[in-house]
Structure 1
Amino acid sequence: MALELRHLRYLLAVAEHGNFTRAAEDLHISQPTLSQQIKQLERMVGVQLLDRTGRTVRPTDAGLVYVEHARRALRDLAAAERAVHDVQDLSRGDLRVGVTPTFTAYLVGPLAAALHDAHPGVTLTVRETTQDGIEAALLADDLDLGIAFTGPGAHLPGIGASPLFTETLGLVTGPHTTAAADRAPVPVRSLNDRHLALLSRDFATRGHIDAHFGRHGVHPPIAVEADSVQALIEIVRRTPLATVLPDAITDGHPHLTRVPLDPPLPTRTVALLARADAYCSAAARAFTRLAHDHVAARAYAPAGPGGPGGPAH
């Protein structure tokens, strides 16, 4: 009996679910059929791949090695199928892009519009997640590209980064804040007496902000924590609260005022991420060109190793 792809998919399903019943339901086959197929695979490779003695089905030591290679083989096969079906003239195609959350507020919309205008036959899937999630998905071939940050030692092995531009962040106020008080740079230490609305601690940007405040012994009272940039924008518009956001977001909202901080937050280098050894489709190449064109047209600061106060991260 020859090994077939279904044997690998069935093994990965059981390893993922830790249970034959749930794996069979996910695969839309009966449990006896699934068990039989796994036993066939074990006979073909000549070794037990799953430990069925506990409440949870787990790969054996040999099974762990086999699962890793099976996952890699299916991933490479999927990439090969995409390469075969890749249409160089971009009359059709698919592109999967992961972004960290702040980029949905000012970068995803223009890039999606540019891609659709230039290549309406390409289907774009955008996933908002953490940088760690983006890199893991790239390595698993669940994404083609990512937009996140780069810097020394910032990435998992196997991830390549192409710098796009330098992102700066600053204090942001709305129309309910006295403009005269916000014309001069604001000392960071003065924020100890200023109520802020900030992104939640799940955001890498919040960690970046907190680290800067901590270096200067600043602990401002946090009146609101939000899990979306749009929510922060609405809060600042309607209250005297200030926030900290990338300058590119502020520039796109005329009702927001950018206020210099002294010292300023360290800059961060924004980059396109990809798996270093992945096939680069025509759609991915087109998106990359459009991203660089957009950055140049908006005159974003050139990508660099870091900015005032520390390295990019």
Structure 2
Amino acid sequence: MGPELRHLRYLIAVAEQGNFTRAAEELRISQPTLSQQIKQLERVVGAQLLDRSGRSVRLTDAGEAYVHYARRALRDLAAADRAVLDVADLARGHLRLAMTPTFTAYLTGPLVQELHARHPGISLEVREMTQDRIEASLSADEIDLGIAFEGPHLAGVTADPLFTETLSLVVTAHGRPGGRKGEEGAHAAADGPLSVADLAEQQLALLSNDFVTRGHVDAYFAAHRISPPIAVEANSIQAITEIVQRTPTLATVLPDAITDDHPHLTPIALDPPLPTRGVTLLRRDSAYQSAAARAFTKLAHRLVQERGYAPA
């Protein structure tokens, strides 16, 4: 008799925990039962899979090789389960989506609204995570699609260009910056783009270094040899937008699209402009593409076009 699925799950749990007691707690079975099941698997396979001689339990060379294929088998089985539940008419289905924090500020709401309006039977799981975590999750089949920026990607991850994101200085809708020192604060009247010279003296509220956007902004400052005074740093886009719309002397740098749904905020072009960023829809190239994932992909392309985002 060959190994059963529970044997694979048990072995992976012990390998990840490095300890039979913790693995048994995670699996909600007794430790003696877990030990017995692992020994049964080793008899079936004909090789020792775990090294129990040290303080922690480790995989043997044979165990490393076996766990690699065990994980793949469980991923493929999960994909098979989703394929069985998937139906072409989209009356039901499930989609696991991840995106970087910037996109949750202006893209998540419209996308979910459209998906629910068109396909109310599809349940959606949305996660916010860093780009490297999105790609790792795709490779591990923990998510179906991810929205992130273009650039080098992990092997096996396919990028579908979605649109081009533009960034600008963002201020409260009550006015705009434009003054050097001596003029009427941050919102003295000015026409056209704001120069780098004026930006150098503008007090800013910026996202923290946790965000890719901050690195993009800092690179722009460095390229033009300016160091604007940073009055506020925050690790929340919601906090930044709230602060700027209530503080006329402060400005920030955010994607133009964020102002679409914030009538109290106004984008101001910079001269020279901030570099644009390509936005992509990521997926694992060998993964099963459900009807829900295919429908979401079409919907996303249509929505960014309708909202007037720059083409990829």
- Residue 227 of structure 2 aligns with an amino acid whose one-letter code is H
Query: Are 2:259 and 1:261 aligned?
Result: no
Corresponding residue of 1:168: 166
Q: Percent identity?
A: 69
Q: CA RMSD in A?
A: 1.5
- Residue 57 of structure 1 aligns with an amino acid whose one-letter code is V
- Residue 123 of structure 2 aligns with an amino acid whose one-letter code is T
Q: 1:29 to 1:182 in 2, by over 3 A?
A: farther
Consecutive unaligned residues of structure 1, counting only runs of 5 or more, are 304-313
TM-score (norm 1): 0.92
Q: CA deviation at 1:12?
A: 0.8
SS in 2 for 1:193: coil
Corresponding residue of 1:206: 214
| Deviates further, 135-144 or 51-60 | 51-60
Q: CA deviation at 1:24?
A: 0.6
Asked if the contact 2:10/2:38 (under 8 Å) is kept, the reply is yes
Within-5 A mapping of 1:151-230: 151=151, 154-174=152-172, 175=174, 178-230=186-238
**Separation in 2, partners of 1:22, 1:182:** 64
**Separation in 1, partners of 2:108, 2:257:** 12
Asked if the contact 2:175/2:188 (under 8 Å) is kept, the reply is no
**Separation in 2, partners of 1:191, 1:36:** 68
- Residue 234 of structure 1 aligns with an amino acid whose one-letter code is E
Corresponding residue of 1:82: 82
Q: CA deviation at 1:26?
A: 0.8
Corresponding residue of 1:276: 285
**Separation in 2, partners of 1:99, 1:55:** 39
**Separation in 1, partners of 2:168, 2:245:** 16
Corresponding residue of 2:148: 148
Query: Are 2:260 and 1:251 aligned?
Result: yes
Q: CA deviation at 1:205?
A: 1.2
**Separation in 2, partners of 1:63, 1:252:** 53
SS in 2 for 1:202: coil
Corresponding residue of 1:306: none
SS in 1 for 2:200: helix
| Deviates further, 194-203 or 281-290 | 194-203
Q: CA deviation at 1:188?
A: 2.6
1:300 to 301, 304, 309: 309
Q: CA deviation at 1:276?
A: 0.6
**Separation in 2, partners of 1:186, 1:155:** 35
Query: Are 2:236 and 1:235 aligned?
Result: no
Q: CA deviation at 1:210?
A: 1.3
| Deviates further, 36-45 or 238-247 | 36-45
Q: 1:55 to 1:187 in 2, by over 3 A?
A: farther
Q: CA deviation at 1:251?
A: 2.7
**Separation in 2, partners of 1:23, 1:97:** 29
Within-5 A mapping of 1:24-43: 24-43=24-43
Matched length: 301
**Separation in 2, partners of 1:189, 1:37:** 70
Q: 1:35 to 1:258 in 2, by over 3 A?
A: same
Corresponding residue of 1:286: 295
Q: CA deviation at 1:108?
A: 0.6
Corresponding residue of 1:18: 18
Q: 1:238 to 1:278 in 2, by over 3 A?
A: same
